[in-house]
Structure 1
């Protein structure tokens, strides 16, 4: 696993998707390229739990009450991050994306075998918000109350997330 490939992305509120006003998306290309089978286990060991394996919805959505990590364990995809005015990101097996609460994400396309592992800091339960106007009512307030995680889901207590999100 390599910490040096970190890429960060910031997204503004676009009037539909709130995104996160303070925290960037973190992208670790190839974080698990050599130990793919340890993706979920590593997330869980670093206290990112309540994990699942599946895909990514093909509509814009976000979680206003939890941060989320996504680790690609199979296949490839193009995700749209940050809403319609955001960024398209090509992801592949071994890549990891950490989405701060409020960050919009949507699957634009994927290979037939695409699968990700998702998890949340401290095993938090997450909500599902979409582009509906009523989903925005308390979203900004919810986002501001989400606690910072104790550890980076990939690199633990010495990971880049701690610096990038000013955890310590």
Structure 2
């Protein structure tokens, strides 16, 4: 399995995270309902669908990690804020965005279809645009979000929990 990792540092507005953004490349080739069943079985239930891409302004969630899967078309997203990394994702790719990491939809193809999911028990309750006066509080809040026990694709045997625990120096 090919997983790209990007560690993005805070910038005084967007906390980003010590946990890397994980981009799973070409990991599913199944109809969206089967993919959603797999995510659900691994405690990442689907929460939303979109053909409009990611929100078109830099934002983050301080209270949850987020998964975005491309089920059709192509998405160019930027992670980490304006100075962050631009990533092109196509059908069969998905990204797991740690709490606090900025994300923004730069461009899409006309046939785009996305599916979004959150670890079980979580959803977006906190949609932040990166105001300076709340930065320290948002860094602290996003660092408190627990690492999921299961990888969205491979469950307990999958790489996500280990990669993120390793990023914290092996702390569980």
Asked if TM exceeds 0.5, the reply is yes
**1:46 lines up with 2:42 in the alignment:** yes
Structure 2 contact 65–118 (Cα < 8 Å) conserved? yes
Q: Which whole-Å CA distance do the structure 2 matches of 1:135 and 1:111 have between them?
A: 34
Candidates 12, 15, 19, aligned match of 1:18 = 15
Partner residue, 2:55 = 57
Partner residue, 1:35 = 30
**1:67 lines up with 2:65 in the alignment:** yes
Structure 2 contact 36–46 (Cα < 8 Å) conserved? no
Q: Which whole-Å CA distance do the structure 1 matches of 2:136 and 2:152 have between them?
A: 30
How far 1:51 sits from its partner (Å)?
Answer: 1.6
Partner residue, 1:156 = 155
Q: Which whole-Å CA distance do the structure 1 matches of 2:129 and 2:75 have between them?
A: 20
Partner residue, 2:78 = 80
Q: 5+ unaligned residues in a row in structure 1: which ranges?
A: none
Partner residue, 2:115 = 117
Q: 1:28 to 1:36 in 2, by over 3 A?
A: farther
Which deviates more, 157-166 or 46-55? 46-55
Partner residue, 1:94 = 92
Q: 5+ unaligned residues in a row in structure 2: which ranges?
A: 166-170
Q: Which whole-Å CA distance do the structure 2 matches of 1:165 and 1:91 have between them?
A: 21
Give the number of aligned pairs: 163
Q: Which whole-Å CA distance do the structure 2 matches of 1:140 and 1:10 have between them?
A: 15
Q: Which whole-Å CA distance do the structure 2 matches of 1:135 and 1:71 have between them?
A: 30
TM-score normalised to the size of structure 1?
A: 0.90
Deviations 1:77-120 (A, max 9, x none): 11011111110000111101011100111011101221211111
Structure 2 contact 147–161 (Cα < 8 Å) conserved? no
SS of the counterpart of 1:138?
Answer: helix
RMSD across aligned C-alpha pairs, in angstroms? 1.6
Q: Which whole-Å CA distance do the structure 1 matches of 2:156 and 2:42 have between them?
A: 8
